[in-house]
Amino acid sequence: MTFNVNRISMLTVRAASWYVVCSIVLLTVVFALAAAGGGTDRAREHGVRHIAFDTTPVRGEPRALELDRAGFTYSCMECHRDLKVPADRANLEAEHCTIVFRHGTDMSCQVCHYPDNRDAYVDRECRQIPSTNSVELCAKCHNIEYRDWKANIHGRVNGYWDPARGPQTRLLCVQCHDPHAPAFQPMQPLPPPRKTRTPSSKKRPPHE
Q: How far is the CB of 104 from another protein (least distance, A)?
A: 16
Distance CA 71, CA 69 (A): 6
Q: Which residues contact 94 (CB under 8 A, 6 or more apart)?
A: none
By the rule CB under 8 A, 84 interacts with another protein: no
Q: Which of 51, 79, 100, 181 binds another protein (CB under 8 A)?
A: 51
Q: Which of 87, 125, 191, 202 binds another protein (CB under 8 A)?
A: 191
Piece in contact with another protein (CB under 8 A), picked from 9-17, 66-74, 109-117, 184-192: 184-192
Strands 168-170 and 72-75 come out as unpaired
DSSP readout, 78-142?
HHHTTPPPPSSHHHHHHHSTT----SSSS--GGGTB-SS-TTEEE-TTS-EEETT-HHHHHHTT-
Q: Which of 4, 94, 97, 161 binds another protein (CB under 8 A)?
A: 161
Q: Which of residues 15-44 bind another protein (CB under 8 A)?
A: 39, 44
Distance CA 155, CA 170 (A): 8
Q: How far is the CB of 65 from another protein (least distance, A)?
A: 25
Q: How far is the CB of 171 from another protein (least distance, A)?
A: 8
Side-chain half-sphere CA neighbours of 180 within 13 A: 12
Q: How far is the CB of 172 from another protein (least distance, A)?
A: 12
**Contact residues for another protein, defined by CB under 8 A:** 39, 44, 46, 49, 51-53, 55, 58, 144, 148, 151-162, 165-166, 171, 176, 184, 186-200, 204-205, 207-208
